Amino acid sequence: MNKQSPLIALQGVERIFTTETLETHALDGIDLEIASGEYVTIEGPSGCGKSTLLSVLGLLDEIDGGEYRLADVLTTEIDAEERARLRNREIGFVFQSFNLIPEMSVLENVALPLVYRDGMATGERRKRAGEVLERVGMAARADHRPNQLSGGQQQRVAIARALVGEPSLILADEPTGNLDHENGEQIMALLAALNRAGATLVTVTHNPEYAAHAGRRIAMLDGRLRTPEATAA
């Protein structure tokens, strides 16, 4: 990657949802650049397009217009397999509802992204998953099932899963939405610490208190970016 290039570069990005009677512009000409190491929050009311933007950034959703470059790769020109590979190596997701797989143990959940990397032995996968769980303070629960953990603990596991592949970008969609205040604080502190350690972090949040942790706050309304409010990192 060119040192001068941003990690994320969106130009005129559009995402349109069409039904029989309605056409909704979820993203309506988004121009956005995020540099490597930045901590950005996206704010806005429900239905403004925050989650759609995060899905587009995470290559979970395709765009209907414009350009999106991730780590200098023009994502509109790569196929589904390459997008999956990019997602696996460059992106870590944290969801509001954790999205852990209930039949798998904590360790297996965390190691899951490494399963989709060719050539890594099971032992190595487990070792790295164990290390990341250590970092988020969940090593003692490695053999538990997700439904045996509290919400905060499940989100820590989800963060560990996002980190295990050492991605350059972490995307968090309302990571504290299902947590109480105390757990929410802890998760946001954890994410901030990861950012300080070098990870690029993009979060969607409703909570201005948590948004204040970010280096840059982006507001959205009706699929468009409002005046960006830059703050010192």
Partner 1 sequence: MKALLPDLVHAWRVHRATPVASSIAVAVLGIALGFMTAFLSLFSDLLPHPHRGFDAADGVATLVAQMPDSANPVNIRFLERAGDEVSGFAAVAGVNVADVEWRDGAKVELLTAETVTRGFFDGLRPRLALGSGIAAEDHRDDGASVAVISHALWQRHFGGRPDVIGQELELLADAMASNDEEQVEVGPYRIVGVAHPDMEGTFRSNVDLWLPAEQFMPKRLTGPLANVGLGNFGMFRALVRLALDRSLESARRELVSAHGNGAFDGLGQPDDARLQLHPGVTLDPGRQAEARRQVGLFTLVGFLVVIVAGANVGLFLLARAPGRRRELGIRLAVGAPMKRLRRQLLVESALLVAAATLVGIVLALWLMVWFQDLAFLERARFSSVSLLDWRVLAGVVGVAAFVTLLVSLAPIAGLKRLGVIGATRQVRARPGAFQRFGGALQIAIAGVVACVVLGFVVYLLDLRTRDLGYSTDDLVVITPSFSGPVFSADSADAERTRVRRERQREVLLQIPGVEAVAFGVPVPAGQVSATFSFRLSPPDRPDREIRVALASADRVFPEMLDLRVLHGRWPDVGDASGHVVSRALAEAVFGHVDVVGEVLPSIQGPGLSEPKPVVAVVENVFFAHPEKPDDPRIYSESTFFSDNDRILLKTRLPLGTLRPELDRLIEAGDLEIDIAHFFRPRDRFRELLAPDRGRLYLSMLAAATALALALFGFYGIQRFLVDAGRREFAILAAIGAGPKRLRRRVIGTGLLLGLPGLVFAGPLGYLGLAALKPEFLPDSTPALAIVLFVVVALAVLLVLTSLAPARRAAAIAPAAQLRED
Q: Which of 96, 105, 176, 205 binds partner 1 (CB under 8 A)?
A: 96
Residue 217 CB partners (closer than 8 Å, separation 6+): 40, 41, 43, 211, 228, 229, 230, 231
- Best CA proximity match to 158, nearest among 198, 187, 185, 180: 187
Distance, in Å, from the CA atom of 144 to the CA atom of 107, rounded to the nearest integer, reads: 8
In the Cβ-directed half-sphere of 107, how many Cα atoms lie within 13 Å?
Answer: 16
> At residue 106, what are phi and psi to the nearest 5 degrees?
-55, -45
Contacts with partner 1, 131-170, as mask; x by CB under 8 A: ----------------x-------------x---x-----
Choice between 26 and 216, CB closer to partner 1: 26
Choice between 177 and 215, CB closer to partner 1: 177
- Residue 21's alpha-carbon distances to 15, 18, 47, 62, 64, in angstroms, are 17, 8, 18, 22, 19
Are the beta carbons of 50 and 32 closer than 8 angstroms?
Answer: no
- Should residue 101 be labelled a site residue for partner 1 when binding is judged by CB under 8 A? yes
- Should residue 51 be labelled a site residue for partner 1 when binding is judged by CB under 8 A? yes
Write the DSSP symbol of residue 29: E
The alpha helices in the chain, defined as continuous H runs, are 50-57, 80-90, 106-115, 122-135, 151-163, 181-196, 208-211
Choice between 104 and 192, CB closer to partner 1: 104
| Binding range to partner 1, per CB under 8 A, among 64-72, 75-83, 181-189, 190-198 | 75-83
To the nearest 10 degrees (0 to 180), the angle between helices 151-163 and 106-115 is 20
Write out the binding residues for partner 1, residues 10-49 only, by CB under 8 A: none
Contacts with partner 1, 52-71, as mask; x by CB under 8 A: x--x--x-xx----------
* Count of residues that interact with partner 1, criterion CB under 8 A: 34
Choice between 131 and 215, CB closer to partner 1: 131
Choice between 50 and 216, CB closer to partner 1: 50
Q: Which of 36, 76, 99, 186 binds partner 1 (CB under 8 A)?
A: 99
Under the rule (CB under 8 A), what is the footprint of partner 1?
A: 51-52, 55, 58, 60-61, 80-81, 83-85, 87-89, 91, 93, 95-97, 99-103, 112-113, 116-117, 147, 161, 165, 173-174, 177
